Amino acid sequence: MYVTLGDLRPMGKAAVWVLFGGCNWKCPYCYERDILDVASCKKSKKCRVVSVQQLVGAILQVKPKLVKIGGGEPTEQARQLEMFCTYLKSQGVAIQLHTNGSHPEVVGDLLSKHLVDMVSVDVKAPLDNERLYKKMTGGLGSPQPVRETIDIARDKAQMTEIVYPVIPGLNDKKGYVIAIAKDLYYCSIFTVQGFDKRRPSADEKLYRETDVPTREHLIELAKAARDAFTNVDSVRVISYKGEEEI
Ligand code: SF4
């Protein structure tokens, strides 16, 4: 399995992030362009090929209570992901899986086996807007499996987070977050995450020509979503000023 061991980053004292290399989508704004396919993983200094056992051994040395798994798209390596979660779960570690939602069957299988506690799903555009979804994902993504993943997660996971990445000029309209909140109507956490220019994006032109959204605009979007959801426990904003609950 390809992972970025550079991303065994302690989160506070209790959690670590592990990023699985490789993704089936090619979002132009993606910050992880170094690990989006096997060729770039091989070139990247951040990325290493390790066995599941090696990875688990390294993680357990940190004694985390929580492991957050992202990528890339971790569900693309379904067999390794299941082994990884099985080892960690046997050691009593809680698991948060962050996915683009393209493989509902993998998420459902992990949840049925009680191998994941919390699921975070990117929703990049209103789920009835196929055209915008394609644009946000480099022509490769589709909203249908995302909807299925969210339905499965809400049914089976302890917590379901919906993450809305805000890319100015592409999907930063208030109407879009309102449409998503009305359509999906409940989740544990809704997170509005602003475009971040601290790392280059996959598409260099987009990176050059797109500004980061202001904190004020992100808060406005988050408040609009909060008002439109029927039921949401927590609404968060991640801006260049950090994370905050609205
Ligand atoms: S789904 Fe998009 S943003 Fe997420 S890792 Fe893949 S290319 Fe990057």
Q: What is the pLDDT along the chain (246 residues), one digit of tens a residue?
A: 555 544 444 444 478 999 999 999 999 999 988 888 877 887 887 788 889 999 999 999 988 989 999 999 999 999 999 999 999 999 999 999 999 999 999 999 999 999 999 999 999 999 999 999 999 999 999 999 999 999 999 999 999 999 999 999 999 999 999 999 999 999 999 999 999 998 889 999 999 999 999 999 999 999 999 999 999 999 999 999 999 999
Number of domains within the chain: 1
Which residue from 2, 17, 25, 75 has its CB within 8 A of the most atoms of ligand 1, so it is best to mutate? Answer: 25
Q: Residue 12 has what pLDDT?
A: 46
Is residue 27 a contact partner of residue 72, using CB atoms and an 8 Å limit? no
Return d(Cα 139, Cα 117) in angstroms, integer: 31
Return d(Cα 81, Cα 70) in angstroms, integer: 11
Return d(Cα 91, Cα 163) in angstroms, integer: 28
Residues in the chain: 246
Quote the strand ranges of the chain, DSSP E. Answer: 2-11, 15-20, 47-49, 66-71, 94-99, 118-122, 159-166, 186-194, 231-239, 242-245
Which residue from 31, 76, 77, 137 has its CB within 8 A of the most atoms of ligand 1, so it is best to mutate? Answer: 137
Atom 2 of ligand 1, nearest CA residue = 27
Return d(Cα 50, Cα 4) in angstroms, integer: 10
Q: Which residues, including other chains, have CB under 8 Å from residue 54's CB and lie 6 or more apart? A: none
Q: Residue 42 has what pLDDT?
A: 78
Evaluated on CA atoms 207, 224, 121, 7, the torsion sign reads positive
Atom 3 of ligand 1, nearest CA residue = 30
Q: And the tokens for 201?
A: 């994006």
Would the CB of 100 count as within 6 Å of ligand 1?
A: yes
Q: Residue 1 has what pLDDT?
A: 52
CATH of the domain at 70: 3.20.20.70
| Ligand 1 atom having least distance to the Cα of 141 | 1
Would the CB of 76 count as within 6 Å of ligand 1?
A: no
Distance 100 CA to ligand 1 centre (A): 7
Q: Residue 13 has what pLDDT?
A: 45
Distance 71 CA to ligand 1 centre (A): 7
Which residue from 4, 23, 99, 146 has its CB within 8 A of the most atoms of ligand 1, so it is best to mutate? Answer: 23
What is the span of the domain harbouring residue 151?
2-245
Atom 8 of ligand 1, nearest CA residue = 30
Q: And the tokens for 24?
A: 């089936």
Q: Residue 5 has what pLDDT?
A: 42
Measured CA to CA in angstroms, residue 32 lies from 66, 169, 187 at distances of: 22, 21, 26
Return d(Cα 174, Cα 220) in angstroms, integer: 8
pTM recorded for the entire structure: 0.93
Q: What is the pLDDT of residues 153-162, one digit of tens each?
A: 999 999 999 9
Q: Residue 50 has what pLDDT?
A: 86
